[in-house]
Structure formats: structure tokens, C-alpha cells
């Protein structure tokens, strides 16, 4: 499997089959899945805890660390897919809707190179 050939629907189906084969839907209430998603996101953050931004870019190049981080990202994705399945949520439609709102909230011409409204406007000569 790879990103360019695998659809979100396929990922949701595979995760759904995994859950069904274990009779886990009974545990997959939105509350439980949202909590599990947050826990997995925290486990992902642990890989970057106590290191600076530069080191966080370097650590992902180390093969063993990269694999461990990839597994945590996959766990986050699994719980995201499980939550979407339990809610019968179309992730692509939700993504499209949110990106439309983000484009309005963060217009490119106003936010290019900036993370927020209150950060200083970048000096073009220092870019």
C-alpha cells in the first residue's frame, strides 16, 4: 500500500474489518475513540519532548526513531479512521469543508510565512 494508490475509503474498510473481526465495535463509542486518539497523539508527542525544533527535524531521519514515530502516526490514523467509521463521517468531505474555512480564516497573502495574526510581519530582507 502507498498514499498515491490507497483511498481513504480503503483505509476505513480495512480498519472496519479489523475491528469487526475482533468484535470491538461495542467498545467504539465516539467518546472512547476520541480519548484513544488523544492518548496516541500524546505518545507521538513523546518522541519530540525535550528537544528543540532543529533536533526534531534531525531525529526523524534516524531509521529506528523514524519507524517508531511512523507507528505512532499510524496509531493516530487508526483511531481517526475508527472514529470516522463510528460516526459514519465522510472524512474527505469533512476535510474539504475544513480547508475551505481555513482558506477564509488564513488567507495566503496575509499569512504567508507567519503562524498567526499577532506574530511580527516578516522582514522580506531577512527571508
Task: State the pLDDT at residue 114.
Answer: 83
Task: State the pLDDT at residue 113.
Answer: 87
The Cα-based distances of 39 to 1, 26, 44, 75, 111 in angstroms read 26, 20, 9, 10, 31
Q: What is the pTM of this model?
A: 0.87
What CATH number corresponds to the domain at position 45?
A: 1.10.287.1080
Whether 119 is in a domain gets the answer no
Domains: count for the chain: 1
15 in Cβ contact with 85 (< 8 Å): yes
Domain span at residue 73 reads 8-89
Closest Cα partner for 15 from 91, 86, 81?
Answer: 81
How many helices, marked H, and strands, marked E, lie in the chain? 6, 0
Task: State the pLDDT at residue 8.
Answer: 98
Whether 120 is in a domain gets the answer no
Amino acid at each position: 500500500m502507498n498514499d498515491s494508490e490507497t483511498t481513504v475509503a480503503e483505509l476505513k474498510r480495512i480498519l472496519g474489518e479489523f475491528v469487526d473481526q475482533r468484535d470491538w465495535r461495542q467498545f467504539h463509542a465516539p467518546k472512547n475513540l476520541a480519548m484513544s486518539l488523544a492518548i496516541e497523539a500524546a505518545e507521538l508527542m513523546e518522541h519530540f519532548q525535550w528537544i528543540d525544533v532543529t533536533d526534531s527535524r534531525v531525529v526523524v531521519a534516524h531509521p529506528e526513531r523514524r519507524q517508531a514515530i511512523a507507528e505512532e502516526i499510524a496509531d493516530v490514523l487508526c483511531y481517526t479512521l475508527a472514529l470516522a467509521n463510528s460516526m459514519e463521517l465522510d472524512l474527505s468531505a469533512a476535510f474539504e469543508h475544513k480547508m475551505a474555512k481555513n482558506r477564509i480564516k488564513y488567507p495566503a497573502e496575509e499569512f504567508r510565512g507567519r503562524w498567526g495574526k499577532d506574530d511580527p510581519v516578516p522582514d522580506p530582507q531577512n527571508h
